[in-house]
A and B are shown apart, each in its own frame.
Chain A
Amino acid sequence: MRAGLLGIEELSRANIDAILARSRDFQPPPNQPFGRFDFLRGRTIVNLFFEASTRTRTSFEIAAKRLGADVLSITASGSSVSKGESLVDTLNTLGAMRPDLIVMRHSASGAPHFLSRYLPFPIVNAGDGTHEHPTQALLDARTILDRRSSLENLHIAIIGDIDHSRVARSNIHLLSKFGARIVLCGPASLLPEELKQIAPGVELTTDMREAIRGVDVIMMLRVQLERQHETPIPANEYFQFYGLRPEHVSLAAPDVIVMHPGPINRGREISSEVADSQRSAILNQVENGIAVRMAVLERILAS
């Protein structure tokens, strides 16, 4: 992983296992603070966020600090990006300052992949367009493993705007590598048939009840209908057909895990009753985000 972490698709199962195992060491015991380490003392990590994201940026920042690294966070607004500098020039300028690693979020799919061909330092993809969000899938896997012994043969539903979701793509690749049965569900206009072919074990349905029946895990996706170029489904119909409510949860396995990458839209894709229920692992996901990102940063920089 010397080149960084661009996506789950090209990540080996051995690397995934190692990151998930190591992240356990970084999970704090219940009701205790995160431990502090100095594995990355003297290293400089730059968080470069071309797209606003408070939670992911903060999570990476805390992860780096808990490992003893120096962290600098830059957001696109107010930087040279808004002055018309090209992406390559921005990164070259940063590169001249010799960071050890760049964490990057960008609204264009493939932006970190494109850059990694020209830049000599590792890049961690913190979300690229509608492509991948690898650390989200890793923290989701960590969260599932906290409640299940293995990822093998799990039955998982991912529900929402699959077509535009980088979270969905990364999770599909990760879960598929472990042989999970993955049911993707959403309105037809957000559920292209081709999704079945991007990884083994993927099924599609537009019927939410069918998708949820008997599953071990429900992953809801954030829906941002207002940000799309066209209206794939009338917004007021969305919650009626694809919002997660208690009556849906009862169709799943009794110990189903309900997940959401956040920030959640209460009353849009998930009801408050479900989001705040015992079945919800949403806050564990946030906590695990830090532990998993610590494991990722350490694995790249310690190698």
Chain B
Amino acid sequence: MSSRLVVKNGRVVDPARQIDAILDVAIVDGVISEVAASIDSGSASVFDATGLVVAPGFIDMHVHLREPGFEHAETIETGSRSAAAGGFTAVCCMPNTQPVNDNATVTSYIIARARRHAVVNVYPIGAITKDSAGEALAEISSMKEAGIVAISDDGRPVMNARLVRRAMEFAKSLRLPLIEHCEDLHLSAGGDMHEGVESTRLGLRGIPRAAEDVMVARDILLAEVTGAHYHVAHISSKNAVDMVAFAKSRGLPVTAEATPHHFVLADRDMLPYDSNFKMKPPLREPRDVDAVMQGLASGVIDAIATDHAPHPGSEKMQEFERCPFGIIGLETAIALSLDRLFHTGKAGLSQFVAWFTVNPARILSLPGGTLAPGSPADLTLFSLDAEWVYDVNKSPSKSRNTPFDGRHFKGGPAATIVAGNLIWRAGEFL
């Protein structure tokens, strides 16, 4: 007997097909069968989505699930539950685990663990270099066969330009994007926050904008040489946004993502010496924050990703300079993005949904990203106006490192449907 679900009366927004209307979505056996007005639900289960936006399942193309190796911080299971609670139906996990995901065995392990324990789709990203040490190429071809969707040495950027060139050549032949965390490690060495008036005032060592910019520039030039698809992770500086715009104007296969914290917070918003504001790239200055928002609005930046980076309290409750970099972000991404980009009128709903769906799906060649009949029945339902307060202590994540605890929001995730199954709804797992 087939399982049937009809999501009724929601505002269906499917940017891939330019749909924005009150419609019903019918799902049969985990696949979308029909999107139309007033579908007769018959014997099917019904989800009343009145007042909610019904979108293709949101994809977070940049998270850290910490498994294998750092299960005290997060696991594939807990990270995937945090994703579901944030309205995401798919996440792409970075390879900086222990061991590093630099070979097909680790890739297969992550996929097997995810199949068993994850409540959302999990797509691994493989390392560019062995052990992400920046010295020799990882086993990219066999990882591709095992299921990686991109390559990146996220957090440990490849400093050797020749190696990046070789990796791009492989990436192109395998139709994988190369994702770079852009940070010249010599320029950033020892830095704990953005280099500027704030770091000077606080007596903290700075990470200059140029550390990001020089690597974006280098990689764009290498993308031109190789023709590879180059993707800039968590873009944060105005110059970097301008350079991606330049690359796109030249028709290069260059894309970029931005995190909510980089368009919501600037360095001067930081609670002094609070490690919940410590991440890479660091929170920059208001003009960079504006550039990131403008980049999203103008289409220079393609996607919103969280860089969800769990660290347990024991690691974050230290002197600022000793704390690790990174914050969690899955559960606040939709609300923060609505707050800064939609409620402010910088973007319409279709563009907003595209940042989380069809755009990342296209960058990574993932299934989904649309509600076209025949697509996997991954759906994100969210509200534009429900008022709520984020309480990190209720998070399914194992970690609590966020600067947004206690923040008031207007609009946010309402329900998450993966492969036709309603797995999370209004704060509860089902």
Contact = CB atoms under 8 A, between A and B. Distances in A.
B200 A110 contact: no
A170 to B, nearest CB: 10
A111 interface: yes
A263 interface: no
User: Quick one: which of A87, A110, A198 has the most chain B CB within 10 A?
Assistant: A110
Interface string A111-150: 1011001000000000011111000000000000000000
B273 to A, nearest CB: 3
B321 interface: yes
Given A129-B203, A169-B203, A108 B272 contact: no
A114 B197 contact: no
The 9 closest A-B pairs by CB, nearest first: A110-B273, A131-B203, A108-B319, A109-B203, A130-B203, A194-B200, A194-B197, A197-B197, A198-B201
A203 to B, nearest CB: 15
Nearest to A9: B201
A195 interface: yes
A109 B204 contact: yes
B196 interface: yes
Contacts of A113: 272-273
Interface in B160-213: 189-190, 195-197, 199-205
A229 B320 contact: no
B98 interface: no
A229 B273 contact: no
B274 A114 contact: yes
A132 B273 CA distance: 13
A86 B204 contact: no
Contact of A114 (B196, B201, B320): B320
A229 B190 contact: yes
Given A109-B273, A114-B273, A229-B190, A198 B320 contact: no
Contacts of A117: 274
Contact of A128 (B196, B203, B205): B203
B189 A229 contact: yes
A108 B314 CA distance: 17
A85 B276 CA distance: 21
A166 interface: yes
Interface of B: 189-190, 195-197, 199-205, 272-274, 314, 317-322
A232 interface: no
Given A88-B317, A108-B322, A192-B195, 10 more contacts: A109-B203, A109-B321, A110-B203, A113-B272, A114-B320, A129-B204, A131-B202, A132-B203, A163-B200, A169-B201
Interface of A: 9, 86-88, 106, 108-111, 113-114, 117, 128-132, 163, 166, 169, 192, 194-195, 197-198, 229
B72 to A, nearest CB: 16
Nearest to B199: A194
Contacts of B189: 229
Nearest to A198: B201
21 contacts: A9-B201, A86-B314, A86-B318, A88-B317, A108-B321, A109-B203, A110-B272, A111-B319, A111-B320, A113-B273, A114-B273, A130-B204, A131-B204, A132-B203, A169-B203, A192-B195, A192-B200, A194-B196, A194-B199, A195-B200, A197-B197
Nearest to A130: B203
Contact of A129 (B195, B201, B321): B321
Nearest to B203: A131
Nearest to A172: B201
B37 to A, nearest CB: 55
A129 B322 CA distance: 13
A129 to B, nearest CB: 5
Contacts of A114: 273-274, 319-320
B319 to A, nearest CB: 4
A129 B193 CA distance: 15
B320 A110 contact: yes
B430 to A, nearest CB: 38
A117 B199 CA distance: 20
Contacts of B272: 110, 113
Contacts of B200: 163, 192, 194-195, 197-198
B268 to A, nearest CB: 11
Contacts of B203: 109-110, 128-132, 166, 169
B191 to A, nearest CB: 11
A163 B201 CA distance: 10
Contacts of A131: 202-204
Nearest to A192: B200
Contacts of B314: 86
Contacts of B197: 194, 197-198
A108 B190 contact: no
A123 to B, nearest CB: 13
Nearest to B186: A230
A9 B200 CA distance: 13
A87 B319 contact: yes
Contacts of A197: 197, 200
A111 B202 CA distance: 11
Contacts of B201: 9, 169, 194, 198
Given A192-B200, A194-B196, A109 B190 contact: no
A198 B317 CA distance: 27
A128 B195 CA distance: 19
A109 B193 CA distance: 12
Contacts of A229: 189-190
